[in-house]
Amino acid sequence: MSIVASDSINSCPDAQFVLDLCTHLGFAAAGITPARPITYHHELRQWLADGQHGEMEYLARHVDLRIDPSVLMPGCKSIIVVADRHGPPDELGDSPRSPTGRIARYAQGADYHTVMKKRLHQLCDALRARWPGFEYRAAVDTAPIMEREHAARAGLGYIGKNTLLIQPGIGSYLMLGEVLTTLEVPQAGQPVIADHCGSCTRCIDACPTTAITPYSVDAHKCISYLTIEHRSGIDPQYYQAMGDWIFGCDICQQVCPHNGDTGPTQLAPTNPAYDSRLTGFNLMEILKWSDEDRRQAFAGSAMKRAKLDMMKRNAIIAAGNGGLADRLGPLVCDKSEPEVVRQTARHVIGT
């Protein structure tokens, strides 16, 4: 995958030095954009006002920081956006009646926060050595940044109808990171990739919980949100649609034409750190986990965001969908389990 930059940026030795550093550090793509306020701030505020962020209250805090990078970092002039790529998930298909719960592809390898942050700090160090006296801040989901819009401005792709960043011909199996800096990297133009979704609605049609409308996702319905971010009980109306997903969901990406098995996607490099180490967990084993079991199972993984009671809740729903409801009875009366676990078991077995 080539580094993304406009001709005007390529003609600038300072910008090219930065982009070459990103390539040297192994990022699949990189671009630079001025640190301007986001364009869709009205839509963001309306999405929050409508409560579509669910229990993710952190999204409603510090909205001004999300809108304008110069509020997050006073004097911020440029944002360097980088991307890592992981391999595609397994093919879609009806899951067998199995005691295994699936996890999203991005979480099957090493934790992208750790993998990317180390190299972003190295990038900051190199920039600081070349241009001392400026500030550099690395971020991988650790700062209130609307990273996909900045990535689109930097030429790494466009934001699709499923709200993910898509690079035409390469797809959306990307993890993003940024360096915010008070250094103004000279550039004379903006590389922009046009929207390639057109009339396609495959992601919208395939979403089993109808969470997606064009260019927006209602977190209340999204399987990724429900299994990873939602801390309390899940509305039973979504149980069947959740299938065997226990951490995240890949459906809207699996059906996207840009993620198809094509020449470009076969040639696009992936970071071996994200090679699959596990694709799922035995559901009945999860129900026996202690906190220490969970910590060991999630060591080095992005899955540690999901707490033990959440994983048991998710496993109960998947077990019910997999024909294992008759094995969940003991959980209903087990007062050593959190209420969300017992309540979910009651709903699944119909008591």
Q: Which one is catalytic: 7, 50, 68, 141?
A: 141
- Kind of pairing between the strands at 78-85 and 174-181: antiparallel
Query: Which secondary-structure segment (H or E) carries 64?
Result: helix 63-67
Sorted by sequence, the CB contacts under 8 Å of residue 13 that are 6+ apart come out as none
Backbone angles phi, psi at 241, to 5 degrees: -65, -25
Backbone angles phi, psi at 245, to 5 degrees: -75, 125
Is residue 68 flagged as an active site residue? no
Total Cβ atoms within 10 A of residue 350: 8
Sorted by sequence, the CB contacts under 8 Å of residue 79 that are 6+ apart come out as 32, 33, 34, 35, 69, 150, 154, 178, 179, 180, 181
Which residues are part of the catalytic machinery?
141
